[in-house]
């Protein structure tokens, strides 16, 4: 994803919407794109967090338990910052 595309994705998040171009460019430059397949775990509840995750496309189900059978607490889509 090009830097300009990343900046536009970030502008879709309320936290970053009013950032001037230069600070937003720095945030975008420091970002990393990851792709996950359906069913892959992004993180485990209670584990230390070292980054935030911005959903650009698709959806992420948030669950309290480790089992896939655990009901989703929420489902978030594009523009969600986790």
Number of H helices, E strands in the chain: 2, 2
Residue 75 pairs in a beta bridge with 61
Question: Would you state the pLDDT for residue 19?
Answer: 94
Question: Would you state the pLDDT for residue 60?
Answer: 92
Question: Would you state the pLDDT for residue 25?
Answer: 94
The conformational region for residue 54 under phi > 0 = left, psi -120 to 50 = alpha, else beta, is: beta
Q: What share of the chain is helix, strand, coil (3-state, %, to 5)?
A: 20, 15, 65
pLDDT along the chain (82 residues), means of 10: 88 91 93 87 86 89 81 91 89
Question: Would you state the pLDDT for residue 49?
Answer: 86
Question: Would you state the pLDDT for residue 20?
Answer: 96
45: CB partners within 8 A, 6+ apart: 63, 64
Question: Would you state the pLDDT for residue 34?
Answer: 87
């Amino acid at each position: 994803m090009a830097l300009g595309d990343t900046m536009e994705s970030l502008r879709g998040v309320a936290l970053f919407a009013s950032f001037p171009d230069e600070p937003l460019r720095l945030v975008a430059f420091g970002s990393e794109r990851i792709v996950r397949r359906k069913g892959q775990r992004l993180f485990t509840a209670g584990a230390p967090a070292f980054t935030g995750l911005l959903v650009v496309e698709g959806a992420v189900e948030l669950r309290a338990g480790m089992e896939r059978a655990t009901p989703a607490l929420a489902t978030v889509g594009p523009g969600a910052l986790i």
